[in-house]
Amino acid sequence: MGENDNLRLFHTGTHACGYWPDRTARDLVFDPRDERLPAFYPQALEWGFRRSGDIVYRPHCPHCRACVAVRIPVATFRPGRSQRRCLERNAQVESRVLPAERNEERLALYLRYLRARHPGGGMDTHGAHEFDQFLVGSWANTRFMELREAGRLLAVAVTDVDPRAMSAVYTFFDPDAGGRGLGTLAILRQLDWAAREGRDFLYLGYWIRSHDKMDYKRRFRPLEGFDGRRWRPFDTLESA
């Protein structure tokens, strides 16, 4: 790694699992105070890590390997039938890439989304400070992709951009329009963006088998999964 040889990696303490309420979890975390972390971040993505705010982490639980980092090879992706229907259903939705900044409209949509999707989970108490801390960050090359229809803000896809890839950090959308598949639409529009910019991969974070909020990622094909050492075709991991 050259100048990154001495980047420090820590184990967190045991904490409640964010995905399964009956489980505990631990993470591997890079030192968030290290000034070299922004330059190293693309390599961390290659090693199955993910960013949340200023924290670059990877689940490292002693007795569980449910979280599998996944990414889409941009050049070979082709939307499936249901994804094509999603694109047709939302043909009037316009997408625009903008600086990662908080404003009243985005914050209001974010808070509505959290109250609808994560009631009682802690995130539904977020405000402006948490928005900035979680979504804007201080060092990543982050952009907001807005999805609008007739001027109405429907969704915001928070995306990190590096020279070779993009990472889908988080998407929040109008909970009253949930039946339109806005989460799927956001990924499809991010893939279009990545293709235009000549990026090789779109990282989707972690796939978790049979999890009602994480299993959808397997529908984007071809897909690759990180087995802890290397990236492999997702089918070989899904069937394991």
Domain endpoint, select from 68, 83, 114: 68
Do 104 and 115 belong together in one domain?
yes
CATH code for the domain of 204: 3.40.630.30
Identify whether 131 is part of a domain: yes
Domain endpoint, select from 28, 46, 68: 68
Identify whether 236 is part of a domain: no
Instruction: Please list the pLDDT of the chain residue by residue as tens digits (240 residues).
Output: 445 567 889 999 999 998 888 999 999 999 999 999 999 999 999 999 999 999 999 999 988 989 999 999 999 999 999 999 999 999 999 999 999 999 999 999 999 999 998 666 556 667 999 999 999 877 999 999 999 999 999 999 999 999 999 999 999 999 999 789 999 999 999 999 999 999 999 999 999 988 888 888 999 999 999 999 999 999 988 776
Cis peptide before 175 (omega within 30 of 0): no
Rounded CA gap, 47 and 41, in Å?
10
Identify whether 238 is part of a domain: no
Q: What is the pLDDT of residue 110?
A: 95
Do 134 and 221 belong together in one domain?
yes
Do 29 and 117 belong together in one domain?
no
Do 218 and 116 belong together in one domain?
yes
Answer for the pair 50, 58: CB distance below 8 angstroms, yes or no.
Answer: yes
Identify whether 161 is part of a domain: yes
Q: State which amino acid sits at residue 13.
A: G
Do 187 and 142 belong together in one domain?
yes
Q: What is the pLDDT of residue 240?
A: 65
Identify whether 233 is part of a domain: no
Do 107 and 42 belong together in one domain?
no
Range(s) of the domain holding residue 56: 2-68
Give, for 158, the enclosing helix (H) or strand (E): strand 152-161
Residue 118 half-sphere exposure, CB side, CA atoms within 13 Å?
A: 16
Q: What is the pLDDT of residue 1?
A: 42
Q: What pTM was estimated for this model as a whole? A: 0.93
Do 213 and 143 belong together in one domain?
yes
Domain endpoint, select from 22, 37, 68: 68
Do 64 and 74 belong together in one domain?
no
Residue 59's contacts (CB-CB under 8 Å, 6 or more residues apart) are: 25, 26, 27, 28, 67, 206
Instruction: For the sheet with 165-173, list strands across it.
Output: 94-99, 142-149, 152-161, 165-173, 201-207, 68-73, 224-226, 231-233
Q: What is the pLDDT of residue 123?
A: 65
Do 99 and 185 belong together in one domain?
yes
User: Which residue intervals of the chain are DSSP H helices?
Assistant: 37-46, 81-89, 104-117, 128-131, 182-196, 234-238
Do 183 and 121 belong together in one domain?
yes
Q: What is the pLDDT of residue 120?
A: 61
Do 131 and 141 belong together in one domain?
yes
Do 51 and 93 belong together in one domain?
no
Q: How many domains does the chain have?
A: 2
Identify the CA nearest to 7 among candidates 31, 29, 38, 28.
31
